[in-house]
Chain A
C-alpha cells in the first residue's frame, strides 16, 4: 500500500510515493539522492545517520520515511550556505582535523548544530555528553572535541 509523502528537505519540498516500510535514511539516500546521510548500523547505535527532524537531532534509520510527511528535515547537505562554502562547524572540523575517513562526520555535524544553538558555550564535559551517541573509529574523539570548542569560540 504506497503512501504519498510530502516533506521539506533542506528547504525544498518533495512529493514521492513510498512504501511504509522505507526507512527515512534510505528515502533520503535512494529516493532523493542525498547520500550525505550515512548509514552505519541501522539500529540506532552509531549515529552516522543523524538528521534534523523539525530542528531536532534524530536517527533517520529509526524513523520511517512516512513519518517525514508534513515535517521538515535537514541533512548535512543543508548546512552550508552554498556549494563552495563550509558551515562554520564544518570549517572548524576541517581546521582541527576533526575527521579522518569522514564516514561519521555528517552524523556528528547534525548532532552538534542544534547542540551549539541551545548551548553556545559548552564545557568539554557537555560536548562529550552531546556526542556520546556518535561513534568515530578514526579520531579518538579528541580532535572532534577541539573542533567543537573552536566553533563555539568563533561564534
Chain B
C-alpha cells in the first residue's frame, strides 16, 4: 500500500511542464489533485518513472465568463471551487448540480477539473457533465495547441485523446441556448460513492414548447461517457409529454452498455438508467418552465 519509487519534479511554469512532458512522454505522469492517481499508486495499479507535480501552476486555476457567454475553466481549478463558484451556479447549473456528488468535501478540496477529465473514469461525473455540455478541451504541448470536443476526448476506460506529450490546460463550456433545462441525477448506495448509474440531461425547447434538441449522457454505462444520441433525437419536435419521456427512457437501453458490478447486476443498472432518464427529463422540463415563468 505504498507507491513504488519515482523521481519527482515541481515545474514552476507551463512551458517547463510541457518541455518535460515532451522529453519524457508517457514515462511522466502529471500530479494535479492526486485523488485518484495517488490512490492508484498506493495500490501500485499505477507506477511512473517521473512524477511532474503541476500544483505550482496556479495560473491554471480560474473560472471566467467570456463575452460570448461561454465559461472558461482552468484545468487546475479545484473541484471545491467549481462547486462554490457563482458563475458556474448561474451559467452552468448542470455542473453546479453535479459537484456535490463527486466524492467528499475533503476530496474536492484537492481534486481538480483537469485531473478528473484526464483520468477519464467512465464512472466519474465530470466526463459525463462536460460531454453533455458539448465542452471543448484545450490540449497543449511544445508542438502545438489544439482543441478537442468532449465527444472525441473520451476514448475508453481511462483513455483520452491526449498524446503522450500533451497536457489538458483549459475547458470551455459553451453558453446554453435560451429555453434550455438541465438535470443531473445519479444513484449511489452511499453519498459520495461511485454511482451505480447516473444521467445528465440537457434539453432545449423552441418558442412553441417543442423540443429543439436534447442530449442524454450516462455514467458507469460503458467504457466512456455513454451518449444516447438516437434516443435523444426522438425528442426533436416533440412536446415533453409523459408518453414521449416514457418512450425515450426505453429507447436509451439500446445505447448504453453497463458492465454490472458487485453492487448491481447489468439488468438493475439498465433499470436504473430508465428510471433516472424519466426523472431527469421531467426535471429539465420543470427547469425550463420555471425560467419561462420568471421571464414572462
**A interface residues (Cβ-Cβ under 8 A, vs B):** 1, 3, 19-21, 23, 26, 42-44, 47, 50, 53, 56-59, 61-64, 66-67, 111, 115, 129-130, 132-134
Measured CB to CB, the residues of B under 8 A from A are 1-8, 10, 31, 34-35, 38-39, 41-43, 51, 53, 55, 80, 100, 103-107, 109-110, 190-192
Supply 24 A–B pairs (Cβ within 8 Å), ascending by A. A20-B6, A21-B3, A21-B5, A23-B3, A23-B42, A42-B1, A43-B39, A43-B43, A56-B109, A57-B105, A57-B106, A57-B109, A59-B106, A62-B38, A62-B39, A62-B110, A63-B38, A63-B110, A64-B34, A64-B53, A66-B10, A129-B100, A129-B191, A132-B190
Q: How many A-B residue pairs have CB under 8 A?
A: 89
CB neighbours (8 Å) of A44 from chain B are 35, 38-39, 103, 107
Closest Cβ of chain A to B211, distance in Å, is: 34
Specify the chain A residue showing the minimal Cβ separation from B35. Answer: A62
Shortest CB distance A123–B (Å): 15
Closest residue of B by beta carbon distance from A62 = B38
Q: Is the beta-carbon distance between B6 and A133 smaller than 8 angstroms?
A: no
A1 & B8 in contact (Cβ 8 Å cutoff) = yes
Ranked nearest first, the 6 interchain pairs of A and B with the lowest CB-CB distance are A133-B104, A20-B8, A43-B39, A21-B3, A42-B1, A57-B106
User: Would you give the shortest CB distance from A15 to chain B, in whole angstroms?
Assistant: 17
| CB proximity of B102 to chain A, nearest CB, Å | 11
Say whether A20 contacts B7, CB under 8 Å: yes
Assembled-state Cα–Cα distance A61/B191 (Å): 21
| B8 cross-chain contacts in A, Cβ below 8 A | 1, 3, 20, 64, 66
Give min CB distance, A151 to chain B, whole Å: 18
In the assembled complex, the CB of A60 is this many whole angstroms from the nearest CB of chain B, namely 10
- Contact across chains for A64 and B106 when beta carbons are under 8 A apart: no
Contact call B110/A133, Cβ cutoff below 8 A: no
